[in-house]
Structure 1
Amino acid sequence: MTSHQLPTGHSLSTDPARLDREAVHRWLSEDAYWALGRPRDKQERAIDNSLNFGLYEDASGTQVGYARVVTDHATFAWLCDVYIAPGARGRGLGTALAAAVRDELADRGLRRLLLATRDAHEVYAKVGFEPMAVPEKWMILGEQ
């Protein structure tokens, strides 16, 4: 895994065995507007079938952030379930996590990395994401 510019005292891992799955499920199902009520078994399947990024405090080893990428590892990736624990917010960790994901995927030759957000556009803009130039090309089946 490549080195990322994380705030001092924090590290990133893509090792799914290191994830605090209980905390990730609690964060998303109880606090994240896009995943409220998500059942634990569904969250487990999502983790098991995705590239996961855990953000940890070095001193304690406690997980303080999470991001998940759904990808074919060749042409396309979707960044989702980006979450920073409430007690760790306000320190730039969300931006650092998004940048770390971007950097980790940079050498894979992906044609595009997408995400959807209702309220964090400025976080993602800081690391290079921008609104779709031609949104009318895209279609969706399912939840809007």
Structure 2
Amino acid sequence: MIDNYEFSSDPARLDPALVHHWLSTDTYWAAGRSREKQDRAIADSLNFGAYDTASGAQVGYARVVTDRVTFAWLCDVYVAREARGKGIGTALVAAVRDHLAPYDVRRILLATADAHDVYEKVGFRPLAEPGKWMAYGRQ
């Protein structure tokens, strides 16, 4: 918990409508994502919320696609505009990292166009050998 904010992986606390609104209207990576697709992504992922402890309002979200053994992909990290600048994004990512630590997941990957500093604060680094990685699908 930092400055009156807490982080939880309890799916019952998530506000899926709010998450969909944030991601589909205020991000470059999920712009236009349908509510149906977002709900399916939530259902099939490990989800984290950031919450204001005074009001209980959700102020952030992160999603992890993982087998909880060898690999995790951190995605859809979002902090509400009115809550930015308080360290919530960094603390949320640290909470995700710490949650996965007991599983001894070998690698947690993510992609970002503009938030490298947030992730570097909790230990993420550029790929050592990006030439080994490949992708299938839209890029």
**Is the shorter-chain TM-score for this pair beyond 0.5, marking a shared fold?**
yes
Return the match for 2:95 from 68, 75, 100: 100
Return the match for 2:73 from 69, 74, 78: 78
| AA partner of residue 54 (structure 1) | G
- Residue 53 of structure 2: aligned partner: 58
Instruction: Point out where structure 2 has 5 or more consecutive residues left out of the alignment.
Output: none
Structure 1 segments of 4+ aligned residues over 6 angstroms from their partners: none
CA distance in 1, matches of 2:2, 2:104: 27
Return the match for 1:111 from 92, 106, 112: 106
Return the match for 1:125 from 103, 120, 123: 120
- CA deviations over 1:85-134 (Å, ceiling 9, x no partner): 00000111111111111111111011100000000001100000000000
Sequence identity percentage: 65
Matched residues, number? 139
Q: Structure 1-normalised TM-score?
A: 0.95
Instruction: Point out where structure 1 has 5 or more consecutive residues left out of the alignment.
Output: 1-5
| AA partner of residue 115 (structure 2) | A
Is 2:10 the partner of 1:15? yes
CA distance in 2, matches of 1:127, 1:9: 20
Return the match for 1:25 from 20, 24, 38: 20
CA distance in 2, matches of 1:143, 1:93: 30
- Residue 3 of structure 1: aligned partner: none
Q: Secondary structure at 1:94's aligned position in 2?
A: helix
CA distance in 2, matches of 1:95, 1:28: 18
